[in-house]
Structure 1
């Protein structure tokens, strides 16, 4: 009788332990608003993530970068997919840390001018009108400003700065309404490839950055370290399935050819320098919010 009781007790303990081992985690994507878009664009990734980890992930919609930070601080979201510029601020506000880098191919920025402009080096940009992309964007604002700073041009005081969409900036440069544009180099090449009325040599890049730090999956400071490491190892061990999930929808075409890598906070010090050179040395608030 006692033996049966012990066996029964062990069996219940095992069942309880197994039940307790599975977790449900909340997952947010900073640049995707609404549950419908989350399910459509990132649903295959969530499914692959659950298959790799054996855990359950539920989407947590956020309507802004600030909302994502507040959710992490309030421990209502556990994992967040975000970009480098967003991460630097979120880390400052919440102590969230990068878990997995989403290694985007050819992820860098450039300063582009018209070939007939007489502007041949970054120093020639001084005093000129330069169009950048969305305020706060890593590759369309912060990075090209840093590229100028790397060549001795103060992007706050040495140029006439404007912000607009990538397509409008391209058209403004084409028609001579601005002297230069700073944007994601891949985005420029994509827009340029659709331009059929101009010769290939109509534009030229006079500066470009090195490859930018990765987008990432970050983890909240409240998530136990062993659970975070389990998720990281499961992702790295199942790269092909996770990548297929991320790139399943055309909205994520920028990740085609990507790799998944383990990363740490130090990789984002260059982005912190970008904030400082853009005139935001505290990087404790989202630019443009």
Structure 2
């Protein structure tokens, strides 16, 4: 009889374990929404993305706390250490986060109806620089090392050309995208790496003049910024589907509330980790990404 009850106890334990393992992981009460520093300063960035956070809060039925993180590397790390649950982040930052903490892309932002953009190199038209071949001995700026267009893709380009930036340029700096465009337009920096969306926005906002900025190199199309969720949150499939539906619904919602996204951003499209393979391949090729 004792063996019978012991058998029942073991069976109940196994059954309970199987039920628990099959149960969905429930999302936490407060969702921490991390956003990269897309705007010139944190206050403007927070103001720009607060409507999106409020929209998500309404659609997800949970408080959404917005936090601006001033570097792509920092945002990737915040996903890994649990400070961020959902992030709107650059492609390279996303690949880093996926590699380090298994964060997962669930959507991609669209710019003028397209889920892709371009890395560029810019100079001042008065510099006499017409192509990357003219950059030897010049000053050059990369974005931070978690940036796709500001660092990874131009670095990969230089690598394929047999160029070591540390010896090829007279000086290399790492700074923000907006600072690169401003210094190039002022003529205090010979050239730098950026992305077409940022240059377009700065010209439209009057932060730089089009006649003071010239593109001398453009990359192949790159996947736009990702909306990624932490590994823990990704296990809650019902929540992920609800989040994707909310993001896809923004396209129609913009007609009623244009400030949900910055100008020229037109919505989101459902994408997953495989969409960011070109960025991952570039990271592996440059040695900047170590497979785990």
Q: Which TM-score tier does this pair reach, normalised by the shorter chain?
A: 0.5 to 0.7
Among 87, 97, 103, the alignment partner of 2:94 is 87
Q: Is the 8 A contact 2:123 2:191 kept in 1?
A: yes
CA deviation digits over 1:200-219, x for unaligned, max 9?
A: 3x653221013332212212
Distance apart, 1:227 and its partner CA: 1.8
Confirm whether residue 264 of structure 1 aligns to residue 288 of structure 2.
no
What is the TM-score normalised by the length of structure 2?
0.65
Question: Which stretch shifts more, 35-44 or 206-215?
Answer: 35-44
Confirm whether residue 29 of structure 1 aligns to residue 29 of structure 2.
no
Distance verdict in 2 for CA 1:136–1:220, change over 3 Å? closer
Q: Is the 8 A contact 2:36 2:75 kept in 1?
A: no
Distance verdict in 2 for CA 1:89–1:247, change over 3 Å? farther
Distance verdict in 2 for CA 1:74–1:236, change over 3 Å? closer
Among 159, 162, 165, the alignment partner of 2:169 is 159
For the residue of structure 2 that corresponds to 1:130, the secondary structure is strand
Q: Is the 8 A contact 2:75 2:89 kept in 1?
A: no
- 1:287 — aligned with what? none
Question: Which stretch shifts more, 75-84 or 260-269?
Answer: 75-84
Q: Is the 8 A contact 2:284 2:290 kept in 1?
A: yes
Q: Is the 8 A contact 1:109 1:140 kept in 2?
A: yes
Unmatched 5+ residue regions in structure 1? 1-20, 285-289
Distance apart, 1:122 and its partner CA: 2.7
CA distance in 2, matches of 1:29, 1:246: 22
Confirm whether residue 111 of structure 1 aligns to residue 116 of structure 2.
no
Confirm whether residue 96 of structure 1 aligns to residue 106 of structure 2.
no
- 1:184 — aligned with what? 195
CA RMSD of aligned residues (A): 4.3
- 2:153 — aligned with what? 143
Distance apart, 1:71 and its partner CA: 5.6
CA distance in 2, matches of 1:132, 1:71: 23
CA distance in 2, matches of 1:218, 1:246: 24
Distance verdict in 2 for CA 1:192–1:132, change over 3 Å? farther
Unmatched 5+ residue regions in structure 2? 1-25
CA deviation digits over 1:96-129, x for unaligned, max 9?
A: 1001111234732212234455543333334443
- 1:47 — aligned with what? 54
- 2:139 — aligned with what? 129
CA distance in 2, matches of 1:175, 1:76: 38
Among 238, 250, 262, the alignment partner of 1:253 is 262
Among 228, 239, 242, the alignment partner of 1:231 is 242
Q: Is the 8 A contact 1:149 1:277 kept in 2?
A: no
Distance verdict in 2 for CA 1:283–1:186, change over 3 Å? farther
For the residue of structure 1 that corresponds to 2:232, the secondary structure is coil
Q: Is the 8 A contact 1:45 1:244 kept in 2?
A: no
Distance apart, 1:48 and its partner CA: 2.4
For the residue of structure 2 that corresponds to 1:110, the secondary structure is strand
For the residue of structure 1 that corresponds to 2:237, the secondary structure is helix
CA deviation digits over 1:153-173, x for unaligned, max 9?
A: 454554342234456544654
